[in-house]
Homo-oligomer: A and B are copies of this chain.
Amino acid sequence: MDADNLASNMNEQAFYERLDSTAVDPPDLFEHFEEHSAGDRTYYLLPDARHEVERGTVVLPDADAVVRGYPSVPRVFVLDPGIPSFFGADARVSVEEKLNGFNVRIAAVGGVLAFTRSGYVCPYTTDRARALLDPAEFFEAYPGAMLCAELIGPETPYTAHDYDDVDSHAVRVFGIRDRETGEPFPVDERRELCERYGFPQPTEFGRGTVDEAVSTAKEAIAELDAAGREGIVVKSEDGREIVKYTTASQTQADLAYAFELPFDYGRDFVFSRVIREGFRAVEFDEDGDRLRERAHDLGESILLPMVETIHTVAAGDRVGERQTVRGDPRAIDELLSHLEGQGLTIEIESDQRDGDQRVVEFLKVSQSTSDRIDYYLDGGTYDE
C-alpha cells in the first residue's frame, strides 16, 4: 500500500537484498510495510512477520538503515524435558530473568531512537533510553548494533508492573544484536559489554548444561513466582536459541489484566494461559489440594476483574488502561500525541510537575469493552 512511497524514497532493490527475505521480489515484500513519521523523519515498519522478516522490522531510508524486529520467542509448557529437548542434550545455556515491561530496540540511526516491538519510534522511550543509558559511547564503538531492552516499572506508557527496586521506571538490556541481520552477540560478550558501558541488565541465575539449567530454572521460577515476577528466558551461549517460561503469578496477572477489559483482550489471552496452568499443574502440583488451589486462583483471576469492570460500566464510569508517565515535559507531550495518533482515546486524569519533570496519569479509554458491556447490560443478545 505504501510501497509506492517507499520506492520513491529509497533504493528498494538494495533494501530488499539486505532484508534477506523469502519474498520473490521487492514489491512482494514492501507492500506489507507501513509508512510512519517521527518528527520530520519518515520510516517504514512491518506490522506482522512476513516472508521470514520479523514483525516490527524498520527501514529508515534517510539513514540508509535497517532495524530488524525482535524475534518471537517460543515458550515451553514444561521445564523438564522442555529445556533439554529444545536445546539438545549437549548444549550449554544461560538462564536469565524475563522482566515484565515492554520490549524496545535502541539503535543509532541518524540519532539514537527507541523502537517498540511493533516498530514504532516511541518518543517517550527514546527520551528515556537516552537519559537512562547514555549510549553514545557504546554506539561509537558498535554503530551497527542495537540494544534490546525492557522498559519496566510503574511509570511507563504501556505496562505498569511494580518492581521492588523500581519506583518510577528503568531499563534492562537483555540483548545486543546486529541491527541489520538480527544476529545476536553471545551471552558472555553481551553481559560484559553491558557491564563495561554501565547498562543495567536482568539477573543471570546460572549458566551450564541443560540438566543444570532445569534445576536452576525450577528454583528461579519458585522464587520469582513467590515475588510476583514474570519468568525466565533460557538462551544458548551463542545467544541464537531462546525459549521462555513464565510463572503462575504472571499468568494470573495477565488474565486479571485481560479480563479487566474482557472485550479487548479476554479472548486472545485466555486459552493459552489456562493451557499453561494445566501443564504446570502436571509438572509441579504434588497433590489435589495444591491443584484445587491453583484452579481457584485461575477462576479468581478471570472472574473478579471482569465483574469489577461490569460494575464500573453499570455505574456509568469509563474503563480502560490506567498509566502513569514521568519525564521531560516535551517528551510527554510527544508521547500523548503519538498515542492519539495511533487512534487511542486518552483521558488525562492528573498532570503535575515534580521538579523539572512532568508526571501525567492517563486512561487509555477502551470504547469496545464499555460498549459491549453496556449493550449486554441493556439486554442485548449474543449470537452463537
Beyond A278-B310, A279-B310, A295-B296, whether A75 also contacts B381 by CB under 8 A is: yes
Bound Cα distance A83, B380 (Å): 9
Bound Cα distance A177, B74 (Å): 53
Copies in the complex: 2
The contact of A274 among B306, B310, B378, by CB within 8 Å, is B306
Q: Which B-chain residue is minimally distant from A87 (CB atoms)?
A: B379
Q: Which B-chain residue is minimally distant from A294 (CB atoms)?
A: B303
Interface contact A314-B282, CB-CB below 8 Å:
yes
Bound Cα distance A81, B380 (Å): 9
The 8 closest A-B pairs by CB, nearest first: A299-B299, A85-B379, A74-B381, A295-B299, A295-B303, A298-B299, A278-B306, A82-B379
Tell me if A26 counts as interface (CB < 8 A to partner B).
Answer: no
For A286-302 the 0/1 string (1 means CB < 8 A from B) is: 00000110111111101
> Using Cβ atoms and an 8 Å threshold, which residues of chain B touch A275?
262, 266, 306, 382
Tell me if A243 counts as interface (CB < 8 A to partner B).
Answer: yes
Q: Besides the contacts A278-B303, A285-B307, A295-B303, what 14 more A-B pairs have beta carbons closer than 8 Å?
A: A72-B383, A73-B384, A76-B379, A77-B382, A80-B379, A81-B379, A82-B381, A266-B274, A270-B271, A278-B306, A295-B300, A295-B304, A296-B296, A299-B302
Tell me if A158 counts as interface (CB < 8 A to partner B).
Answer: no
Interface contact B296-A310, CB-CB below 8 Å:
no
For A356-384 the 0/1 string (1 means CB < 8 A from B) is: 00000000000000000000111111111
For A252-286 the 0/1 string (1 means CB < 8 A from B) is: 00000001001000110011101101110110010
> Using Cβ atoms and an 8 Å threshold, which residues of chain B touch A380?
76-77, 85
> Using Cβ atoms and an 8 Å threshold, which residues of chain B touch A376?
76-78, 279
Interface contact B75-A382, CB-CB below 8 Å:
yes
Q: Which B-chain residue is minimally distant from A383 (CB atoms)?
A: B74
> Using Cβ atoms and an 8 Å threshold, which residues of chain B touch A291?
303-304, 307
Tell me if A311 counts as interface (CB < 8 A to partner B).
Answer: yes
Q: Which B-chain residue is minimally distant from A296 (CB atoms)?
A: B296
Interface contact A243-B282, CB-CB below 8 Å:
no
Tell me which residues from 309 to 328 in chain A have a Cβ below 8 Å from any Cβ of chain B: 310-311, 314
Bound Cα distance A314, B78 (Å): 13
For A106-139 the 0/1 string (1 means CB < 8 A from B) is: 0000000000000000000000000000000000
Interface contact B86-A381, CB-CB below 8 Å:
yes
Q: Which B-chain residue is minimally distant from A313 (CB atoms)?
A: B282
Beyond A75-B382, A266-B271, whether A282 also contacts B310 by CB under 8 A is: yes
Bound Cα distance A382, B381 (Å): 35
Tell me if A56 counts as interface (CB < 8 A to partner B).
Answer: no
| Whole-angstrom distance between the Cβ of A306 and the nearest chain B Cβ | 4
Q: Which B-chain residue is minimally distant from A305 (CB atoms)?
A: B278
The contact of A299 among B85, B297, B381, B384, by CB within 8 Å, is B297
> Using Cβ atoms and an 8 Å threshold, which residues of chain B touch A379?
76, 78, 80-86
Bound Cα distance A310, B285 (Å): 13
Q: List 23 A-B contacts (CB under 8 A).
A: A72-B383, A74-B382, A74-B384, A75-B381, A76-B380, A77-B382, A78-B377, A80-B379, A85-B379, A86-B379, A86-B381, A270-B270, A271-B271, A274-B306, A275-B382, A277-B303, A278-B310, A279-B310, A281-B307, A282-B310, A282-B311, A291-B303, A291-B304
Interface contact B279-A303, CB-CB below 8 Å:
no
